[in-house]
Structure 1
Amino acid sequence: MTDSLGPRLKVGVVVPSTNTSAQPELDAMRPDGVTNHTGRMLIDDDPMVDEPGFDRVMRGIRSSTHPAIRSVACCDPGCVLIGVSPESYWEGTETQGQVLASMRAAAGGRPVTMSPEAIKAALSAHDVRRIAVITPYLPVGDDSVSRFFTDSGYDLLSVQGLGMPSPAKISHVSETGLRDAVKEIDSADVEAIVQVGTNVAMSRLAAAAEFWLGKPVLSNNTVLYWHALRQNGIADRVRGFGSLLGEH
């Protein structure tokens, strides 16, 4: 027998305990017969205004990820989505495979979707290399994000940090602020705009921005959910969240 509400796929989702944007955004993207089941990485809402503070938040996320994965694995999901941005576990391309393997082990061998692989797959689907990136951070966090994209071989033309001082405050970024950030970093040379930070609610704004820019605008939550669905055999085109979910 199959799960009555999620007969096609149950998606386990783990997010930081401060995150209030990922769960509602991912739920809005669900195809029929797919359900999401969220566990929380227990972290404090520490300031991220300097390098020690940013590193403390990252350490909290890393140390609490495996317990959160194990908690959500108890409902026997078909896969697990790690709802954090790419720099959270990034120590370079040579270690990413080890990180992913450790997440899969914590998930009992289930498929795991993480931002590094999902973002690379999304950019490959659009066949782009020259990008601009929006982050929720102050410059100390922007540096980590920039390192991820440059280490991954992308031509990073611009980075725009939104300057949020703590993990919970990231959810306070408005659509107006996001619109202004998109306008600020866009140029004729930019092939795609990528937003990182799963506590930024940008999935619908990104879809609107694609329409008036005529280029991919990729929200972290949309990218993660698209990759989780496609990796696990769900090919439904979900409208209203941009070209990635609607066309790929």
Structure 2
Amino acid sequence: MTDSLGPRLKVGVVVPSTNTSAQPELDAMRPDGVTNHTGRMVIDDDSMVDAPGFDRVMRGIRTSTHPAIESVTGCDPDCVIIGVSPESYWQGPGSHGRVLDAMRKAAGGRPVAMSPDAINAALSAYDARRIAVITPYLPVGDDSVSSFFSGSGYDLLRLQGLGRPSPAKISHVSETELRDAVKAIDSADVEAIVQVGTNVAMARVAAAAEFWLGKPVIANNTVLYWYALRQNGIADPVRGFGSLLAAH
């Protein structure tokens, strides 16, 4: 017997308790026969304006991620999306394999989708190495993101942080701010624009920006869901969220 509403794929999703953007964006992307099941990492809305504050946020995420994964495995999902970005970048590319292995173990061996793998797969699909990146962070967070992409072999031409002071405030980034950030970091030598931060609601802006820029604009929630679908046998084109879901 298969799940009546999710006979093709059941996707577990874990996000911080402060995140109000990932769940509605991922739900809007669901193909027919696919269901999403969300668990929450319980964290405080601590300040991220300096290294000690960012460290407190990271400790909260690390403490609560595995319980959040366990909270969704009870429905026996086919895969799990880890909908949080800082853990993926904070300690650099060398630590990612260890983090991913720990997430898979917590998920009972199920496939796990995390931002670095999803973004690498998307940039490979576009054959793009020269990138510009948008983050929701202040410099303390931007530095770790910059180090991660540079250490992963990308030519990071520009990075713009949107300066949000706490996890919950990230969801307050407006579409106008995102449009302006895309314009600010784009240039003829940029092959693709990448946005990190799952509490930034950028799926619609990224799709529109691709139309007028003529190049890939990769939103964090879109790339995570695309990667989870494609890695688990769902090849349906999903329109309205840019070229990644529609054509790859």
Match of 2:118 in 1: 118
- Aligned pairs (5 A) from 1:119-138: 119-138=119-138
1:213 match: 213
Q: 1:27 to 1:41 in 2, by over 3 A?
A: same
Q: 4+ residue runs of structure 1 moved beyond 3 angstroms?
A: 86-90
Structure 2 distance, partners of 1:131, 1:88, is 18
Counterpart amino acid of 2:76?
Answer: D
Aligned twin of 1:197: 197
Q: Look up the match of 2:225.
A: 225
Change over 3 Å in CA distance of 1:153–1:86 after alignment to 2: farther
Q: Deviations over 1:25-78 (max 9, x none)?
A: 000000000000000001000010111111111121111111100111011000
What's the counterpart of residue 149 of structure 1? 149
Residue 242 of structure 2 is aligned to residue 242 of structure 1? yes
Counterpart of 2:177 in structure 1 is 177
Q: How does 1:10-25 map to 2 (within 5 A)?
A: 10-25=10-25
Distance 1:206 1:93 in 2: 25
TM-score scaled to structure 1, two decimals?
0.98
Code of the residue aligned with 1:247 in structure 2: it is A
Cα distance in 2 between the residues matched to 1:152 and 1:3: 39
Quote the Cα distance in structure 2 between the aligned partners of 1:88 and 1:113. Answer: 11
Q: Give the 3-state SS of the residue equivalent to 1:110 in structure 2.
A: coil
8 A contact 2:10–2:78 mirrored in 1: yes
Q: Where does residue 162 of structure 2 map in the other structure? A: 162
Structure 1 unaligned blocks of 5 or more: none
Q: What is the number of residues matched between the two proteins?
A: 248
Gapped regions of structure 2 (runs ≥ 5): none
Q: CA RMSD in A?
A: 0.9
Deviations 1:195-243 (A, max 9, x none): 0000000001100000000000000000000000000000000000001
Task: State the Cα distance separating 1:92 from its structure 2 match.
Answer: 2.9
Partner of 1:82: 82
TM-score with structure 2 length normalisation? 0.98
Whole-Å Cα distance in 1 between the matches of residues 50 and 92 of structure 2? 22
Structure 1 window deviating more from structure 2 (57-66 vs 210-219): it is 57-66
Aligned: 1:70 with 2:74: no
Contact 2:195 2:219 in 1 (8 A): yes
Determine if contact 2:48/2:54 at 8 Å carries over to the other structure: yes
Contact 1:62/1:89 (<8 A) preserved: no
Mapped to 1, the partners of 2:71 and 2:87 lie a distance apart of 23
Partner of 1:101 in structure 2? Answer: 101
Change in Cα spacing, 1:167 to 1:86, as seen in structure 2 (3 Å) is closer
TM-superposed CA distance for 1:101, in Å, is 1.1
Secondary structure in 2 aligned to 1:52?
Answer: helix
One-letter code aligned to 2:218: L
Asked if 1 retains the 8 angstrom alpha-carbon contact of 2:89 and 2:144, the reply is no
Question: In the alignment, is the contact (CA less than 8 A) between 2:91 and 2:144 conserved in 1?
Answer: no
Which residue identity does 2:217 align to in structure 1?
V
